[in-house]
Amino acid sequence: MREELRRVGERIESYFATGGDPPFVLYQYHPKQEWEVRRDLGELRRWLESPPRRIGCAAVSLADLFWAALDDSGYFNELVDLERRAREANDGAAVREVSEAVGEILREPPTLTDRVVEKVEGCEERTAVFLYRAGALYPAYRTSTLLDDLRGRLARPVTLLYPGTLIGEYGLRFMDRAEAAYGYRALIVPRETPA
């Protein structure tokens, strides 16, 4: 298992051993490493679930929740048509409007946060939460909002697999496209690139 993943796992293990505030971790990686990171998640999951740790893992696809929210809104087909027409017309303002509309859908009840909480409600108490496929949210929704909202509602360790670039020690560029954000209240663990 990768050393940086072991550090994430050890923080989760320590929380279940000693208590305190559950760790919120952001595992940052380059968007092109998506498949490798999913493999990393599988290794970490096996490590956490095996004896002596026996920590359950709930892997939640943010892409699945994103598409469910759009389906439930009743506006899915209309949004797809609007985006297609805006892209064909090379109308950047109209594309941004579609993204803003999608963002509003994710903020309306049941919010994206509500959907994550619902996914893990039935899990055993000794369960860590892993959020993956965050790239599907770009550019409609910033993951910092999700983590802040979850912090008040989910008393479990949460690890967000974050596709983007680390800027300095604390800045993050979501999908290597968004402006750098510095407001994350989570431990940032970069996936090191082999030399």
* 35-91 pLDDT tens trace: 999 999 999 999 999 999 999 999 999 999 999 999 999 999 999 999 999 999 999
178 vs 100, higher pLDDT? 100
pLDDT tens profile 109-130: 999 999 999 999 999 999 999 9
What is the percent of the chain where pLDDT is above 90?
Answer: 87
pLDDT tens profile 9-32: 999 999 999 999 999 999 999 999
Per-residue DSSP letters for the chain? --HHHHHHHHHHHHHHHH-SSPPEEEEEE-GGGHHHHHHHHHHHHHHHHSTTT--EEEEEEHHHHHHHHHHHHT-HHHHHHHHHHHHHTT-HHHHHHHHHHHHHHHHSSSPHHHHHHHHHTTS-SSEEEEEE-GGGGTTT--HHHHHHHHHTT--S-EEEEEEEEEETTTEEEETTTSPPB----SEEEE-PPP-
